[in-house]
Structure 1
């Protein structure tokens, strides 16, 4: 039986982990502000992945107002760490406020500015990484964090299938046939393809793309 894609999305949303009151408030905030965020379907998966690898340290390339960091933090021990990075100082202040109210601010390190500059200030090892910043810089983020991963770490890239500027038809053509070269591919779509090509062809990683949210690529580090 063919199930319509809209029904699949509704089913996944309906069976996602129930957000707590603060996460629900953050969902409302994102909707009111028109701010893209991963939502509880992906948030719950991030929390589960962190628990599965007994994560202690998390690094985020792009944190917005702290939504994904809040889900990660729920799985960390009291001496754990989640590093948030964000260009927008107001969003980072909002993240600090939310995480403080959620009782996990003591786990958070806040980095205002370029995530690729911030990662250079940390030695690692990191057990979980979220790549969710400028799409054309995803591969650069992967290359920057790769030597700082703990064995068994997971790297999650958001928007692996779609987002506002991503041309899914062209992305599909490129990943389905690596000899394909669609005309006029924008830098966001090219960036996602370059990232997927890098992680899928790295022998030290196993990667799957899950159609959750706007698509997430989950890569497990075998090193």
Structure 2
């Protein structure tokens, strides 16, 4: 779709809360890869999904500047908590500043390090998981978290369109390991009898998975 249609969709989506609008702007001005931010439309979808699920325990892999985490936290049940894992320690101070600004200190737990190392140390049962980390390891993360997700719980995976490179007609070089990994992961989930799934072509693609 053209930018005109995306703009129309934004105009007919509830606006960003002021704190998130500031974080959105700050991320675009002060970081090298602002496109990694979930952004307005996807952020409102994450918030709405969280409100629908009313999770007590949420896990996010790939915090970046914290935008998606704050959106997911909007729908937490009373007493609910969110754990988010970020590899880059340089982002920690900004994330914690916005967590405090949202009044979520004590409920939103930031872990700095490799998700593959940290996830096995967490003993929670997850109602909702959002995977938005390095795409080549989507399958690793999926297999790590799925046993920890309750029956009927949800896993969301971002960037499953991967800039449109996942379609069969797109010429992919053998050296493009990320694209091959995303394609293989999407095919795996489609065939996974442990879950049911819906592929949403929103932004760069969002895969919604429900554990059976």
CA distance in 2, matches of 1:121, 1:201: 29
CA distance in 2, matches of 1:9, 1:192: 24
Mapped contact 1:125–1:150 kept (Cα < 8 A) = yes
CA distance in 2, matches of 1:101, 1:192: 35
Residue in 2 that maps onto 1:200: 190
- RMSD of aligned residue pairs (Cα, Å): 1.9
Q: Gaps spanning 5+ residues in structure 1: where?
A: 176-180
CA distance in 2, matches of 1:7, 1:201: 35
Residue in 2 that maps onto 1:178: none
Q: Which runs of 4+ in 1 moved over 6 A?
A: none
Give the stretch that moved more between structures: 71-80 or 133-142. 71-80
Tell me how many residue pairs correspond in the alignment. Answer: 209
Shift of 1:183: 4.3
CA distance in 2, matches of 1:206, 1:16: 27
CA distance in 2, matches of 1:37, 1:89: 17
CA displacement, residues 108-156 of structure 1 (integer Å, 9 cap, x when unaligned): 1111100111110112310111111111000110000010001221111
Give the stretch that moved more between structures: 46-55 or 108-117. 46-55
Q: Gaps spanning 5+ residues in structure 2: where?
A: none
CA distance in 1, matches of 2:139, 2:84: 19
Mapped contact 2:125–2:148 kept (Cα < 8 A) = yes
Give the TM-score taking structure 1 as reference length. 0.87
CA displacement, residues 156-205 of structure 1 (integer Å, 9 cap, x when unaligned): 11111135xxxx24x10089xxxxx9542511111211221222111221
Mapped contact 2:172–2:179 kept (Cα < 8 A) = no
CA distance in 2, matches of 1:204, 1:10: 37
